[in-house]
Structure 1
């Protein structure tokens, strides 16, 4: 019976660490995409991001 409790506690710890890792990677990816599109010197990338912001009614000026 103790092996079931131990494996349950171990799987909970792994799930929590996995969620934290996923959250960190998602935040990094989001910041990278916003930073790349927002500060890109490639006009096509910057203009596409600008048009998307306007289509979502997000103020960017």
Structure 2
């Protein structure tokens, strides 16, 4: 016997300032990750991201 229930989703409006905060925060996180992986002197980090960086034309040497 299976019981199914209808789920109703209600869209809540998101303000422009909230969207900007999320976009800027995500961009800063992404830049930090790219900077860390791109310029890290840790050999393990370098080797883990090496092929991806070269395929994206990101210099690492």
| Structure with the largest fraction of helix | 1
Q: Which runs of 5+ in 1 are unaligned?
A: 1-10
Q: TM-score, normalised by structure 2?
A: 0.61
Aligned CA RMSD, in angstroms, stands at 2.0
Partner residue in 1 for 2:19: 19
In structure 2, list runs of 5 or more residues that go unmatched. 1-12
The equivalences for 1:1-61 within 5 A come to: 15-54=15-54, 58=57, 60=59
Structure showing greater relative contact order (alpha-carbon pairs closer than 8 Å, 6 or more residues apart): 2
What is the alpha-carbon distance in structure 2 between the residues aligned to residue 59 and residue 23 of structure 1?
Answer: 23
Deviation at 1:17, TM superposition (A): 0.5
Q: How many residues align?
A: 48
User: Runs (4+) of structure 1 moved beyond 4 Å?
Assistant: 58-61
The TM-score, its normalising length taken from structure 1, stands at 0.61
